[in-house]
Amino acid sequence: MLLLVLLTVSIFTFDILELFNFEVSFAKKMAASIKEKHDNVEISLESLKKGKSLISKKNFNEEDILFEERPLVSSQFLWNEFYKYEACEYCLRSLETAENQSRRLTEDPTLTLPLPECDETDQSKYVNCPQCQITYCCQECQKRAWEEYHQTLCMGASRQDENHPLYKLQEMWRNIHFPPESCSIMLIAKMIALVKQSKNKSDILERFSGFVKTTINEDEALVHKMMGEKFQEPLEMLRQQMTDTLYEDTVQHWFTPEGFRSLFALVGRNGQGIGSSSISTWVKNCEKLDLAEEKKEEVDLFIDKLYEELEKVSGSFLDCEGSGLYSLQSTCNHSCLPNAEITFPYNNNIMAVVAKEQIATGQEICISYLSECDLSRSRHSRQKILKENYLFTCECPKCLSEADDPDMTSEEEEEMDDED
């Protein structure tokens, strides 16, 4: 985001000049490699203030896909998994049938969904890891996971063994971090395992170094935000457990107290939330069907009632949730008036960034780091959230046009409205 921030401190122990050269050469390399791969977008380093930005190389219409991307690494949240939101260990695809998921989340075992042909789940393709029995949505996911990180992280027959170091690590995390989760310790474990298993370690390290970095003070603020006020002690426990379990020479700097905190800050700052659900896929497919007017109304009514019931019983916890690191998407800057949005159209962790309006060649592609709800709040509230979570002050056109508004949070505004 901010080039200065990007350049000042990192989890690497280079001196500052070396770091500068490394960053610049990396950024150039990454820009070049992305140029090769993407006809639609390119990374620009022109803006000194914002650091990297993503620029459109074509004209796009509303709803066009600007680019699609797989994460470098992703992981389901641990409480989410614990509460039986069954997802593919590799791609986070929701594994339950839409009907079973609806039954679980409405606590109604008799519920039957109409139009079963709209359910895409194909359980005949599922495969288990032969060692630990963890489930993948297909052979390809199992193969990729094994090649990338699972050889290191596979717990074999000890998946439920309280004494297994990885079990302890996950248990520790669940005890520190209650839902709603914003990160999983397994995302960090997978990063380390990726390095461990990689045949080209410098390549994978370069890809990690492409994410936005933070200063020591910012690390502290981000980790505080992620783990709560008394984060020092649990963080140290996690660091020791992680070191005992997965220590790797190539990234020894990740295991120092400072480096470990930076690693947390990195996933806190760059991690993108992912959600998948068999129910939403079923709903989407139902909506696509060419049904007779009467039938359509009936289905719409059913879906409305289903969502009402889901919300009543399970609140906002409907999806298989996790987070991941996306190289290209992480170069998209924020705007409170974004021209693009992130979607997960395939019920897995493959992201598609979609145009919200016409975008012309040479225009910067901006997404919103804020939820739809936060985006509608006052400038002061938006900037407060962005500052706390992403460490920058937004200067988007909307914020600039509201610069003269009083410094009030949305709640204060609402209170004022109530008094009127």
Q: How far is the CB of 86 from Zn ion (least distance, A)?
A: 12
What does the alpha-carbon distance between residue 291 and residue 286 come to, in Å, rounded to a whole number? 9
Q: How far is the CB of 142 from Zn ion (least distance, A)?
A: 8
Rounded (5°) CA angle 7-203-46: 35
Q: Closer to Zn ion at the Cβ: 272 or 348?
A: 348
Q: Closer to Zn ion at the Cβ: 104 or 150?
A: 150
- In sequence order, the β-bridge partners of residue 275 are 321
What does the alpha-carbon distance between residue 87 and residue 77 come to, in Å, rounded to a whole number? 10
Q: Closer to Zn ion at the Cβ: 292 or 373?
A: 373
Q: How far is the CB of 128 from Zn ion (least distance, A)?
A: 8
The secondary element (H helix, E strand) that includes residue 387 is helix 379-390
- Assess contact for 378 and 413: CB atoms under 8 A: yes
What does the alpha-carbon distance between residue 79 and residue 243 come to, in Å, rounded to a whole number? 23
What does the alpha-carbon distance between residue 339 and residue 355 come to, in Å, rounded to a whole number? 6
Q: How far is the CB of 335 from Zn ion (least distance, A)?
A: 6
Q: Closer to Zn ion at the Cβ: 131 or 314?
A: 131
93 contacts Zn ion (rule: CB under 5 A): yes
Q: How far is the CB of 377 from Zn ion (least distance, A)?
A: 11
- In sequence order, the β-bridge partners of residue 158 are none
Q: How far is the CB of 382 from Zn ion (least distance, A)?
A: 6
What does the alpha-carbon distance between residue 388 and residue 224 come to, in Å, rounded to a whole number? 10
Q: Closer to Zn ion at the Cβ: 154 or 325?
A: 154
Question: DSSP characters for 240-309?
Answer: HHHHHHH--GGGGGGGSHHHHHHHHHHHHHH-EEEEE-HHHHHHHHHHHS---HHHHHHHHHHHHHHHHH
What does the alpha-carbon distance between residue 339 and residue 48 come to, in Å, rounded to a whole number? 22
Q: Closer to Zn ion at the Cβ: 253 or 384?
A: 384
Q: Closer to Zn ion at the Cβ: 150 or 174?
A: 150
- Assess contact for 173 and 185: CB atoms under 8 A: yes
- In sequence order, the β-bridge partners of residue 67 are 353
Residues 386-415 that bind Zn ion (CB under 5 A): 394, 396, 399
Q: How far is the CB of 370 from Zn ion (least distance, A)?
A: 9
User: Considering CB under 5 A, how many residues would be counted as binding Zn ion?
Assistant: 14
What does the alpha-carbon distance between residue 272 and residue 51 come to, in Å, rounded to a whole number? 19
Q: How far is the CB of 69 from Zn ion (least distance, A)?
A: 16
88 contacts Zn ion (rule: CB under 5 A): yes
78 contacts Zn ion (rule: CB under 5 A): no
Residues 33-72 that bind Zn ion (CB under 5 A): none
Interacting span for Zn ion (CB under 5 A) from 84-92, 118-126, 304-312, 355-363: 84-92
Q: Closer to Zn ion at the Cβ: 151 or 217?
A: 151
- Assess contact for 221 and 203: CB atoms under 8 A: no
Q: Closer to Zn ion at the Cβ: 237 or 375?
A: 375
Q: Closer to Zn ion at the Cβ: 65 or 132?
A: 132
Q: How far is the CB of 56 from Zn ion (least distance, A)?
A: 20
Q: Closer to Zn ion at the Cβ: 93 or 261?
A: 93
Q: How many residues does the chain have?
A: 420
Q: Whose structure tokens read 């310790």?
A: 185
Q: How far is the CB of 336 from Zn ion (least distance, A)?
A: 3
Q: Report how far Cα 268 is from the mean position of its chain's Cα atoms.
A: 9
Query: What is the chain's percent helix, strand, coil content, to nearest 5?
Result: 50, 10, 35
- In sequence order, the β-bridge partners of residue 352 are 68, 343
Report the half-sphere exposure of 47 (CA within 13 A, side-chain side).
16
- Assess contact for 13 and 258: CB atoms under 8 A: no
Q: How far is the CB of 270 from Zn ion (least distance, A)?
A: 19
Count of CB atoms within 10 A of residue 132's CB? 15
Residues 301-360 that bind Zn ion (CB under 5 A): 336
Q: What mask, x for binding Zn ion by CB under 5 A, covers residues 123 to 162?
A: ------x-xx----x---x------------x--------
The binding site for Zn ion (CB under 5 A) comprises 88, 90-91, 93, 129, 131-132, 137, 141, 154, 336, 394, 396, 399
